[in-house]
Amino acid sequence: MEKELLRIEHLKKGYGTNDVINDLSLTVRKGEVIVVIGPSGCGKSTLLRCVNALEDIQGGQILLDGEPVRKNAPNISRMREKIGMVFQSYDLFPHRTILDNITLAPMKVQKRKKAEVEQEALELLDRVGLKDRKDDYPRQLSGGQKQRVAIVRALCMHPEILLLDEITAALDPEMVREVLDVVLSLAKAGSTMMIVTHEMAFAKAIADRVIFLENGQIVEESSDPKAFFERPETERARQFLHTFDYESD
Nearer to another protein, 5 or 163 (CB): 163
CA distance linking residue 159 with residue 172, whole number of Å:
28
Contact 212, 38 (CB under 8 A): yes
- Residue placing its CB nearer to another protein in the complex, 28 or 141: 141
Please identify, among the stretches 19-27, 134-142, 178-186, 207-215, the one whose residues bind another protein according to the rule CB under 8 A: 134-142
| Backbone dihedral angles phi then psi of residue 70, each to the nearest 5 degrees | -150, 135
Residue 222: how many CB atoms within 10 A of its CB? 18
Give Rg (Cα) of the chain: 18
Choose, by CB under 8 A, the member of 50, 151, 157, 193 that binds another protein.
157
Smallest gap, in angstroms, from Cβ of residue 155 to another protein?
A: 11
Give the per-residue contact string, 67-106, with another protein (x = CB under 8 A; - = no): ----------xx-xx-xxx-x-x-x-xxx--------xx-
Q: From start to end of the chain, where are the E strands?
A: 4-15, 18-29, 33-37, 59-64, 67-68, 83-86, 161-165, 193-196, 209-214, 217-222
Which one, 148 or 153, has the nearer CB to another protein? 153
Q: Which residues bind another protein (CB under 8 A)?
A: 52, 54, 77-78, 80-81, 83-85, 87, 89, 91, 93-95, 104-105, 108-110, 137, 139-140, 150, 153-154, 157
